[in-house]
Amino acid sequence: MKTYTAWLPFLKEVPPRGLETAELAAWELEQGLRGLDCGLSGRCAVDGTMPEEAYRLERDGETCLVTGGRIGVLYGVYALLRALALGQALPEGVQRPFYPARMINCWDNADGSIERGYAGRSLWFEGGAVRYDPDRLLELARLMASVGLNVLCLNNVNVRDPAERLIEDWLPKLRELAALFRPFGIRLMVSVDFAQPMLHGIPTADPLDERVAAWWRERARDIWTQIPDLYGFLVKADSEHRPGPFTYGRSHAEGANMLARAIAPYGGKLVWRAFVYNCLQDWRDQTTDRPCAAYDTYVPLDGQFDANVILQVKNGPFDFQVREPVSPTLLKMAHTSLALEFQLAQEYTGQQIDIYAMAPLFREVFDEVPPEKVQAVAAVSNFGRDGNYFGHPFAAANLFSFGCFAWDPASEPGETMAAWAGLTYPSCARTLTEEILLPSREIYEQYTAPLGLCWMVNPNHHYGPNPMGYEFQSWGTYHRASRDAVGIDRTGAGTGYAAQYPPAMRARYENPETCPDRLLLFFHRLPYSFVMRDGRTLIQRIYDDHFEGAERVEKMAEILRTLPLPQPDRDTALARMEKQLANAREWRDVVNTFFWRFSGVPDAHGRKIYD
Ligand code: GCV
């Protein structure tokens, strides 16, 4: 059977269905060693005294030995194969993940579409039903398990379609899917609609109404009877028109705890998203600042959530923009279990057309948020039914590196990218890593929205430039560019947002002299004549970044054309690069022209800016 092996080229066959994890580990080990053709033999064994997800690797002459806990044995096999493929020394001692829950959230809809999906349609929904190719799911499960990802939420947090009732009519299918993923150590999760009881004749979704709580208890009993290891429920409430406890004058702790109590007897987790803000804001209202919203809503509730509630917070206070400071909510809620949420789907970051490797982002976030401040990590998925799962073959690097950071938040982007490229494209790994993947985020930022400028994208689909696209909208997302200045003052003299940070961070951000350039216009409103640390004016820096970003894409394209990538990846990557080139030129010209028309300041180097 021909498979798309992504970063596991030595595993050519789809594993059989129905194996126990230990059998699967042995099967993968045997096949992997054969695929590597390295002349080594291997054995793997479960050691019931080891923690479930831990493993140890040893080598005795030509024999490799993997010992692990119930799931760790499989992780150990993948780690061994990876080390052998890369020619690396085996890690010493017992290896175990930093976070117990390493989650992938899919925004898949029952009709087969994926909200913000850029790699084809859903792998498990089509036409309002659960439909899937088991082999493809086994391949996906293998990719996830090979980097230690262990929770998969199947359906969109926007549970719009009442037919999308995974936990009701489709329970038998959910059970089947759980069985497919289980041997890989992957537990399923489902998004639920806070108002779901109202589809069943209950006139309210008030979390303090006993009829509501009883409905959820009954549902939970049915679900966990069928799928005893279901991880839990994911909920988006009171956010972007989703129902929630605010309708009934209840807090989010009251809403989350009601659901959490229904599933607690089965060990279920209630993952509650903290993506709450006013999406019906009047743009004339300059006192409401969207980044303040999550902190204002949740920090006062710290300590009120039940033990099985996990509050899932996006990495930044806005919404996965190319550059945001870390969310202050992550730093402040010491008495609540938190999950840090990333978005692998490249909604605002190139839509899996433009190259945008996220490992540097993961590093930067963990440099600001000490890993022990959060108890879990989650990421919005970037895969779908496309033949290569990821649309752009390099987008696979983002799932891979998310897994690496979820396992070990001390990971380094350079090593992670080199490992992915070394496994996937050994003949050009170094150039790909150093010249393309590692700088790709910075380059994207330069030609789109440098200096902390956010929301210059086209509304709705969010690809391509539109500097005024969100200026007079209700989403609370503005940069307020004018003839003289641009940016939002979020210091104490402005919206006050910076005060949500611990004192040292606040001081760093509040002073334009110490605020990092990349966040300058996120925290400050500055005149175009503002002189930056490197002596350039703000307006010149905006021009320079856009020119330089687009030039760097041209260079990247030249390098890409020389790489001996295998087909069909080469054709796909080159075709997408043509679109990225067009996108970068478009961004450069639109944004530079926009600021030139406002400011009337010419480019110091006389480069082409349109009138
Ligand atoms: C699933 C952004 C996206 C929405 C997404 C939302 C969320 O607003 O544009 O598509 O909805 O984030 O994270 O809930």
Question: Rounded to an integer, what distance in angstroms lies between the CA atom of residue 548 and that of residue 538?
Answer: 15
Between the CA of 477 and the centroid of ligand 1 the distance, in Å, is 14
Q: Which of 359, 346, 349, 337 is nearest to 406 (CA)?
A: 359
Strand arrangement of the beta sheet that strand 55-60 belongs to: 41-46, 63-68, 55-60
Question: Rounded to an integer, what distance in angstroms lies between the CA atom of residue 577 and that of residue 417?
Answer: 19
For the CA of 343, the nearest atom of ligand 1: 13
Cβ atoms of residues 401 and 417 within 8 Å: yes
Does 153 sit in the ligand 1 pocket, CB within 6 Å?
no
Q: Which of 429, 353, 426, 344 is nearest to 378 (CA)?
A: 344
Does 455 sit in the ligand 1 pocket, CB within 6 Å?
no
Between the CA of 316 and the centroid of ligand 1 the distance, in Å, is 13
Does 236 sit in the ligand 1 pocket, CB within 6 Å?
yes
What is the pLDDT, as a whole number, of residue 265?
Answer: 98
Calculate the alpha carbon distances from 159 to 19, 43, 151, 196, 290 in Å: 33, 45, 19, 9, 24
Does 115 sit in the ligand 1 pocket, CB within 6 Å?
yes
- 1 has a pLDDT exceeding 70: no
Cβ atoms of residues 29 and 80 within 8 Å: yes
What is the pLDDT, as a whole number, of residue 165?
Answer: 82
Q: How many CA atoms lie within 13 A of 202 on its CB side?
A: 18
Does 290 sit in the ligand 1 pocket, CB within 6 Å?
no
What is the pLDDT, as a whole number, of residue 382?
Answer: 98
Question: Rounded to an integer, what distance in angstroms lies between the CA atom of residue 9 and that of residue 138?
Answer: 15
**Which regions of the chain carry the CATH code 3.30.160?**
1-95
Q: Which of 556, 582, 580, 560 is nearest to 569 (CA)?
A: 560
Between the CA of 498 and the centroid of ligand 1 the distance, in Å, is 24
Question: Rounded to an integer, what distance in angstroms lies between the CA atom of residue 308 and that of residue 305?
Answer: 8
Domain boundaries 426-488+525-611, CATH class: alpha beta
Least confident stretch, 155-164, 166-175, 291-300? 155-164
What is the pLDDT, as a whole number, of residue 555?
Answer: 98
DSSP state of 457: B
Structure tokens at 230: 């279901």
Between the CA of 178 and the centroid of ligand 1 the distance, in Å, is 26
What is the pLDDT, as a whole number, of residue 300?
Answer: 98
Between the CA of 345 and the centroid of ligand 1 the distance, in Å, is 11
Question: Rounded to an integer, what distance in angstroms lies between the CA atom of residue 193 and that of residue 203?
Answer: 15
**Which regions of the chain carry the CATH code 3.20.20.80?**
101-411
Cβ atoms of residues 270 and 310 within 8 Å: yes
Does 113 sit in the ligand 1 pocket, CB within 6 Å?
no
H or E element, residue 176: helix 171-181
Q: Residue 298: CB partners within 8 Å, gap ≥ 6?
A: 252, 274, 276, 311, 313, 329, 333, 336
Between the CA of 85 and the centroid of ligand 1 the distance, in Å, is 38
Residues 567, 571, 572: CA angle, nearest 5 degrees: 105
For the CA of 462, the nearest atom of ligand 1: 9
* Helix and strand counts by DSSP (H, E) for the chain: 17, 15
For the CA of 157, the nearest atom of ligand 1: 1
Q: Which of 550, 534, 544 is nearest to 583 (CA)?
A: 550
Taking each helix axis from N to C end, the angle separating 134-146 and 171-181, rounded to the nearest 10 degrees, works out to 50
What mean pLDDT, rounded, does the chain reach?
97
- 1-95 maps to which CATH number? 3.30.160
**Which regions of the chain carry the CATH code 3.90.1330.10?**
426-488+525-611
Place of tokens 């190139």: 350
Cβ atoms of residues 333 and 304 within 8 Å: no
pTM of the model: 0.98
For the CA of 158, the nearest atom of ligand 1: 1
Calculate the alpha carbon distances from 207 to 104, 215, 295 in Å: 27, 11, 22
Calculate the alpha carbon distances from 124 to 185, 346, 380, 399, 403 in Å: 19, 21, 16, 19, 22
Q: What is the pLDDT of residues 516-555, one digit of tens each?
A: 999 999 999 999 999 999 999 999 999 999 999 999 999 9
Does 342 sit in the ligand 1 pocket, CB within 6 Å?
no
Q: What is the pLDDT of residues 443-501, one digit of tens each?
A: 999 999 999 999 999 999 999 999 999 999 999 999 999 999 999 999 999 999 999 99
State the virtual CA torsion across 544, 547, 548, 549 in degrees, nearest 10.
Answer: 120
Q: What is the pLDDT of residues 14-46, one digit of tens each?
A: 999 999 999 999 999 999 999 999 999 999 999
Q: Where are the beta strands (DSSP E) in 132-260?
A: 151-153, 187-191, 232-235
What is the pLDDT, as a whole number, of residue 318?
Answer: 97
Residues 286, 290, 292: CA angle, nearest 5 degrees: 105
* CA-based radius of gyration for the chain: 24
Q: Which of 191, 129, 190, 125 is nearest to 158 (CA)?
A: 191
Question: Rounded to an integer, what distance in angstroms lies between the CA atom of residue 274 and that of residue 317?
Answer: 10
Mutate to test the pocket of ligand 1, among 116, 153, 321, 461 (most ligand atoms within 8 A of CB): 116
Q: In a 3-state reduction of DSSP, which class is residue 98?
A: coil
Between the CA of 328 and the centroid of ligand 1 the distance, in Å, is 20
Question: Rounded to an integer, what distance in angstroms lies between the CA atom of residue 66 and that of residue 77?
Answer: 6
Note the CATH architecture for domain 101-411: Alpha-Beta Barrel (3.20)
Question: What sections of 232-358 are H helices per DSSP?
Answer: 252-263, 293-298, 329-332
State the virtual CA torsion across 585, 590, 596, 599 in degrees, nearest 10.
Answer: -140
Positions annotated as catalytic residues are: 240, 319, 347
- 267 has a pLDDT exceeding 90: yes
Question: Rounded to an integer, what distance in angstroms lies between the CA atom of residue 284 and that of residue 293?
Answer: 18
Does 319 sit in the ligand 1 pocket, CB within 6 Å?
yes
Question: Rounded to an integer, what distance in angstroms lies between the CA atom of residue 157 and that of residue 233?
Answer: 10
Mutate to test the pocket of ligand 1, among 271, 319, 470 (most ligand atoms within 8 A of CB): 319
What is the pLDDT, as a whole number, of residue 2?
Answer: 56
What is the pLDDT, as a whole number, of residue 557?
Answer: 98
Does 412 sit in the ligand 1 pocket, CB within 6 Å?
no
Q: How many residues does the chain have?
A: 611
Structure tokens at 389: 């799962």
Q: In a 3-state reduction of DSSP, which class is residue 352?
A: coil
Structure tokens at 336: 């609540």
Structure tokens at 608: 């082409």
DSSP state of 61: T
Structure tokens at 579: 């679109």
Does 251 sit in the ligand 1 pocket, CB within 6 Å?
no
Q: Which of 112, 3, 1 is nearest to 389 (CA)?
A: 3
Cβ atoms of residues 584 and 405 within 8 Å: no
Between the CA of 138 and the centroid of ligand 1 the distance, in Å, is 28
Q: In a 3-state reduction of DSSP, which class is residue 579?
A: helix
For the CA of 116, the nearest atom of ligand 1: 10
Cβ atoms of residues 52 and 70 within 8 Å: yes
Q: Residue 102: CB partners within 8 Å, gap ≥ 6?
A: 148, 149, 150, 151, 376, 377, 403, 406, 407
Does 238 sit in the ligand 1 pocket, CB within 6 Å?
no
The arithmetic mean of pLDDT across residues 116-133, rounded, is: 96
